């Protein structure tokens, strides 16, 4: 009988129980063994088993009937509706960013002042340094992109960007948590490349790099 390691025990126990459902050891509608039996089989405590069952109940695989036990209600997990909605919200935010920032990048390349370029470069440097947490990195990244929008010298675009910054921030934090990685050298290079296009005054390249970067974020979620 498979046992779980001592790290993330409840998650691993849930995976083991789910595998037993998927392989047909427990059929649809059948009652699974009690907590004491499962704890002995998995090599974990009853509290861990209870949490694993709770997880699978939340995912629609098991259900607890008071006084009767725990029963199989599905042979695999259903898609997490909350996660699906989270993905949809992140994609919606990215689409809004594409609409605002692609045009803003093109305008910034045409209209940027020396002061604008200094602000963008400072924000780019801060973005590279702020990798200690997802939240800090998202804040630094947002400041970088806002500096570009400000350099477009279009007050309506800047108002639009500022107006949805709180939603943007949460969506980007959620996205990076899903991805499990952030602030890599390749990502920083992408932002440096956008900065270079704006510095050269190349509106077409700036727009293309902005769109490609943001579109890649949405693609990574699918």
Dump pLDDT digits (tens) for 127-144: 998 887 889 999 999 999
In sequence order, what are the residues at sequence separation of 6 or more whose Cβ sits closer than 8 angstroms to the Cβ of residue 135? Answer: 173
Cα separations in angstroms, 129 against 124, 134, 137, 191? 9, 12, 8, 14
Domain 9-72 classification at class level: mainly alpha
pTM over 0.85: no
CA distance 205 to 1: 58
Place of tokens 């604008």: 116
pLDDT value of residue 8: 65
Nearest to 136 by CA among 144, 186, 15: 144
pLDDT value of residue 131: 80
Mean pLDDT by 10 residues, the chain (222 residues): 54 91 92 94 93 86 89 77 63 91 98 98 93 88 97 96 89 81 86 97 97 88 67
- Structural domain spans, the chain: 9-72, 81-220
Cα separations in angstroms, 120 against 19, 142, 194, 219, 222? 51, 11, 10, 26, 31
CA distance 212 to 219: 10
Per CATH, the number for 81-220 is 1.20.120.530
pLDDT tens string 167-212 = 888 888 888 887 777 778 899 999 999 999 999 999 999 999 999 9
CA distance 149 to 154: 8
CB 137 within 8 A of CB 131: yes
């Amino acid at each position: 009988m498979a046992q779980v390691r001592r790290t993330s025990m409840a998650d691993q126990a849930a995976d083991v129980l789910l595998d037993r459902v998927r392989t047909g050891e427990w059929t649809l509608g059948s009652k699974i063994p009690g907590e004491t039996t499962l704890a002995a089989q998995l090599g974990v405590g009853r509290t861990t088993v209870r949490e694993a069952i709770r997880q699978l109940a939340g995912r629609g695989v098991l259900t607890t009937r008071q006084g009767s036990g725990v029963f199989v209600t599905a042979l695999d997990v259903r898609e997490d509706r909350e996660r699906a909605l989270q993905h949809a919200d992140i994609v919606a935010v990215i689409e809004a960013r594409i609409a605002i920032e692609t045009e803003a990048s093109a305008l910034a390349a045409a209209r940027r002042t020396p002061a604008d370029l200094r602000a963008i470069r400072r924000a780019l440097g801060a973005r590279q340094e702020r990798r200690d947490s997802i939240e800090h990195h998202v804040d630094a990244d947002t400041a970088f992109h806002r500096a570009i929008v400000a350099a477009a010298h279009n007050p309506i675009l800047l108002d639009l960007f500022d107006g949805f910054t709180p939603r943007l921030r949460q969506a980007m934090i959620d996205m990076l948590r899903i991805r499990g990685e952030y602030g890599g050298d390749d990502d920083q290079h992408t932002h440096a490349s956008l900065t270079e296009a704006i510095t050269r005054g190349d509106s077409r390249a700036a727009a293309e790099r902005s769109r490609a970067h943001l579109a890649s974020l949405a693609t990574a979620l699918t």
